[in-house]
Amino acid sequence: MRLTLTPEELTAYYAQLHDSNSDFKSHYPADSFERQPVHTVYGGANLFKAGFAGKLGEVALKTLDTYAPNYLVFARVLGLPGAETLPINPIEQDSLTRALEKDPEQVREVKPAAWLAFTVYNRVLKKLQSEPIEDNRIDFEDGYGNRPDDEEDGHAIAAADEVAKGMRDNILSPFIGIRIKTFSDECKVRAIRTLDIFLSRLAEQTGSKLPANFIVTLPKVTTPTQVSTCATILQNLESKLGFAKDSLRMEIMIETTQSIINHKGENTVPLLVAAAAGRCRSAIFGTYDYTASCNITAAHQSHTHPACDFARHVLQVSLAGTGITISDGATTSMPIGPHKAGKDGALSPQQMDENRAVVHGAWKLHYDNIMHSMRHAYYQGWDLNPGQLPVRYAAVDTFFLSGLQDASARLNAFLNKAAQATLVGNTFDDAATGQGLLNFFLRGMACGAITEQEVLATGITLDELRSRSFVRIVNNRTRK
């Protein structure tokens, strides 16, 4: 076989490609599929207690019982797939419920919508009882407001004491952190002071131990210098207070147009992340501050505004493959009825109907917003009220469970064909789609919506799953 290129030339080309590939991998080490919380619950620092998560879970359960006492009501309110087919007649409802309680998998074969509604509702109940909050942010910013310095100093100390107590009693949420004020000229002094007081007190109370998955949130970021300054402060406090090296991590909030594109026309997101010098764990999109910075009027500010989708896509494209997670914003319509019970603890039927209408409307909006986020591959968002928790978990479970059977069939067929393209139904899959199917299961497992057994039922092995690469799986199978 005749070759034209000399060995020396080939060696030079290989070296160039190796250096280029190594540089690429240093910037894009791959997305992390470790557990990512499905939400972050923000609450004013003045209200935080060690048992905050459990308390909110109790309120969420009470709200669910009041406004959706069973899976049929809940499914219709949210508009779960096939909810319109669920029975309304009480006798039919009782018969269906008994069948589901006896053998849900049998019902699933003939009435998938009923199975989905029943399964989602019961998973929500279990979640609210066992782990009502996945990520908690003790808020010194918008959810707290501007207060006298002495008052905020006191709340910073009290919050640190409560975190320490929660660590001792093992009652904190799996992820937790604080949100300080922005590093603008107006707020920078107060923001840094609160961060210093909180961490100093926490180190004192815990022997320089941090709770698991602790993070500091820096809001309304506009310049890389704000991020680098925060990272430097964290490094300094870490060293002086005795926290483990590189344990103080941060997340940045993308809430302004300048944090998407700067005055030079550059994409600002990578610059902001780089400024954190390895301390940035995640980036959060702030819907309403961002739309305000776009001069969108209040009547048209919404989670699904096209301006928000543009920013989401920039954020997503900028951080894909970097290992930095992304989170979406909040639904600000709260599921809180306009009427409160009087001294006798009772509401009139009309007041109950009006409360129900408000709560159901807020639930539906929140559900639709979460689904919008998840379709755009934003698997984490904000919750601001305990009444939103049932909807958060219902949306996550519905997103994955409603697509589970189809994804399982497609992944199974693809694995059986290995490197060959395959056709399932009217959907043609190639290798890129195979990775997308794998991502579906990895994401579903990471948030608890899909079990390991459900993944293994596709024919994939644990070793293959842990590889997290469909191309690698295919290559290994074709070699056998």
pLDDT at residue 314, as a whole number? 96
Q: How many CB atoms lie within 10 A of CB 311?
A: 27
Confidence of residue 453 (pLDDT cuts 50, 70, 90): confident
Q: DSSP letters of 306-346?
A: HHHHHHHHHHHHHHTTTT-EEE-----S----S----TT--
Report d(CA 371, CA 385) in Å as an integer. Answer: 18
Give every CB contact of residue 256 below 8 A, 6+ residues apart in sequence.
Answer: 220, 221, 222, 289, 290, 293
Confidence of residue 424 (pLDDT cuts 50, 70, 90): low
Give me the mean pLDDT over the 97-121 stretch.
Answer: 95
Report d(CA 38, CA 35) in Å as an integer. Answer: 9
Give me the mean pLDDT over the 121-125 stretch.
Answer: 96
Is the pLDDT reported for residue 480 higher than 70?
no
The residue count of the chain comes to 480
DSSP one-letter code for 259: G
How many helices (H) and strands (E) would you count in the chain?
19, 10
Tokens of 157: 């100390």
Quote the strand ranges of 317-417, DSSP E.
Answer: 325-327, 381-383
What are φ and ψ of residue 148, in 5° steps?
Answer: -55, 150
Taking alpha carbons only, the member of 149, 142, 145, 136 closest to residue 49 is: 136
pLDDT at residue 422, as a whole number? 60
Report d(CA 389, CA 408) in Å as an integer. Answer: 28
Confidence of residue 452 (pLDDT cuts 50, 70, 90): confident
CB 56 within 8 A of CB 398: no
Q: In the chain, what percentage of residues exceed pLDDT 70?
A: 96
Report d(CA 204, CA 479) in Å as an integer. Answer: 57
Is the pLDDT reported for residue 14 higher than 70?
yes
Q: What global pTM score does this model have?
A: 0.91
Give every CB contact of residue 321 below 8 A, 6+ residues apart in sequence.
Answer: 28, 29, 30, 31
pLDDT at residue 421, as a whole number? 55
Residue 48 burial class via C-beta count within 10 angstroms: exposed 0-12, middle 13-18, buried 19 and up: buried
Confidence of residue 462 (pLDDT cuts 50, 70, 90): confident
Q: In the chain, what percentage of residues exceed pLDDT 90?
A: 77
CB 183 within 8 A of CB 218: yes
Q: How many CB atoms lie within 10 A of CB 471?
A: 14
pLDDT, tens digit, 9 for 90 and up, residues 265-313: 999 999 999 999 999 999 999 999 999 999 999 889 999 999 999 999 9
pLDDT at residue 346, as a whole number? 84
